[in-house]
Amino acid sequence: MGDRSTVKARLAALQIELPSWAFGNSGTRFRVFPQPGVPRDPFEKLADAAQVHRYTGAAPTVSLHIPWDRVEDYGKLADHAASLGLRIGMINSNTFQDEDYKLGSVCHPDPKVRRKALRHLLDCVDVMDATGSSALKLWFADGTNYPGQDDIAARQDRLFEALTAVYERLGDGQRMVLEYKLFEPAFYHTDVPDWGTAYAHTLKLGEKASVVVDTGHHAPGTNIEFIVAFLLRERKLGAFDLNSRFYADDDLMAGAADPFQLFRIVHEVARGGGLEPDANVAFMLDQCHNIEEKIPAVIRSVMNVQEAVAKALLVDVDALQTAQQAGDVLGAYEVLMDAYDTDVRPLLAELREEQGLDPAPVAAYRASGWREQIVEQRVGGTQAGWGA
């Protein structure tokens, strides 16, 4: 077990990336519920993200989604981030909200549509150049709804062709991560449905390509920690999109639905060296706050991830190994549960105080008056939301 100060030092180094879209209006396909004070542009989204970093000290990077975060001058956006103590994180591509993509984007049967989609992906690398972002995150909504609709294998060829072109465009110090998702919006087959498909493609591409595990993108009951352990071992775990789910891709707050699952995942990350800075595993949130207040929900999510990591760092690795070697099934389980059952909130509060932060981030945010200020100031204009 790491001693208290080692655990705190490792927690202090943990950085959780925020999605710009968590701060905009969102909803289900039934209704988007607007909230007062929601940002009207990417600059205001960064200002809200800065609040999360201010009260947690753990969220210095923000992931952008293009075109939702399209601006005239990306250098100016990066400067704005820097003035708020933030950096631009991953650039997320979006090839799922254009009329042309009804039958897919990079896997579309029409080469014209494929070229348009590829152009967008390459434009996203330009945004990386302009903002100093080091990673491109690719998720494709491509797939089919009916058997026979298109040639599944040919679509894999088209996918790989586009991925190769993007890979070749990456500059020094840039990488790409490929996200998989079981289903939705396609319902019969999806072109990157699982980690195996993402792994196979990124393996062929080379070491600048790896896999994103979005915790909400699996069939119920999937052992996500196994996937994490496997990918880490192969040095192909590039990033997490953290969120939680009860049913499908619910995008609820990380750690809310199943804190034990989050702990088990993070335990495998820690075990496999994924918390080390050179492992290059990004911990991103990918969440939407449809009915709850957004900024405190993001703060709470960061805290949930910190708690899971703290517990994982408290696992007595030597005792665990001894029990495993001895075939002591119950002993090994007990070591894991001892860590999971530890109340790590006092440890994290102590760490925050040492960092000059308030020990209770949500309460500190609420007392700051930021919410009242944005509700009063952000009037007029169009609030950011899905598709904007």
Binding site for ligand PSV (CB under 6 A): 21, 92, 139, 179, 181, 214, 241, 249, 286
Listing DSSP states for 156-196 in one string gives HHHHHHHHHHHHHH--TT-EEEEE--SSSS-SSEESS-SHH
How many angstroms separate the CA atoms of 49 and 287, rounded?
A: 13
Of 179 and 307, the one with the shorter C-beta distance to ligand PSV is 179
Least separation in angstroms between residue 18's CB and ligand PSV is 13
Of 15 and 92, the one with the shorter C-beta distance to ligand PSV is 92
Question: Of ligand PSV, Mn ion, none, which one does residue 167 interact with (CB within 5 to 8 Å by kind)?
Answer: none
Of 21 and 167, the one with the shorter C-beta distance to ligand PSV is 21
How many angstroms separate the CA atoms of 173 and 48, rounded?
A: 28
Of 69 and 307, the one with the shorter C-beta distance to ligand PSV is 69
Of 48 and 241, the one with the shorter C-beta distance to Mn ion is 241
Of 332 and 384, the one with the shorter C-beta distance to ligand PSV is 384
What are the tokens at 119?
A: 């152009």
Of 140, 136, 68, the residue nearest 105 (C-alpha): 140
Listing DSSP states for 328-377 in one string gives -HHHHHHHHHHHHTS--HHHHHHHHHHTT--S-HHHHHHHHTHHHHHHHH
CB atoms within 10 A of CB 200: 14
Listing DSSP states for 364-388 in one string gives HHHHHTHHHHHHHH--SS---BTT-
Least separation in angstroms between residue 223's CB and Mn ion is 19
Least separation in angstroms between residue 167's CB and ligand PSV is 19
What are the tokens at 66?
A: 């293009």
What are the tokens at 31?
A: 């209704």
Question: Of ligand PSV, Mn ion, none, which one does residue 92 interact with (CB within 5 to 8 Å by kind)?
Answer: ligand PSV
Of 40, 11, 10, the residue nearest 23 (C-alpha): 40
Listing DSSP states for 267-283 in one string gives HHHHHTTTTSGGG--EE
**Which residue stretch of 14-22, 190-198, 237-245, 343-351 sits at the interface with Mn ion (rule: CB under 5 A)?**
237-245
Least separation in angstroms between residue 191's CB and ligand PSV is 13
Report the residue number whose CB is nearest to ligand PSV: 139
**Phi and psi at residue 208, to the nearest 5°:** -85, 0
Using CB under 5 A, which of 17, 214, 225, 268 touches Mn ion? 214
How many angstroms separate the CA atoms of 374 and 176, rounded?
A: 35
Of 69 and 286, the one with the shorter C-beta distance to ligand PSV is 286
- The answer to whether 11 touches 313, Cβ cutoff 8 Å, is yes
Does 225 interact with Mn ion (rule: CB under 5 A)? no
Of 125 and 192, the one with the shorter C-beta distance to Mn ion is 192
Residues with Cβ within 8 Å of 162's Cβ and at least 6 positions away in sequence, in order, are: 106, 114, 117, 118, 121
Binders in 109-138 for Mn ion, by CB under 5 A: none
Question: Of Mn ion, ligand PSV, none, which one does residue 21 interact with (CB within 5 to 8 Å by kind)?
Answer: ligand PSV
Does 286 interact with Mn ion (rule: CB under 5 A)? yes
**Which residue stretch of 53-61, 107-115, 124-132, 282-290 sits at the interface with Mn ion (rule: CB under 5 A)?**
282-290
Question: Of Mn ion, ligand PSV, none, which one does residue 249 interact with (CB within 5 to 8 Å by kind)?
Answer: ligand PSV
Does 241 interact with Mn ion (rule: CB under 5 A)? yes
Least separation in angstroms between residue 185's CB and ligand PSV is 9
Least separation in angstroms between residue 212's CB and Mn ion is 7
Least separation in angstroms between residue 355's CB and Mn ion is 29
How many angstroms separate the CA atoms of 91 and 87, rounded?
A: 12
Contacts to Mn ion by CB under 5 A:
214, 241, 286
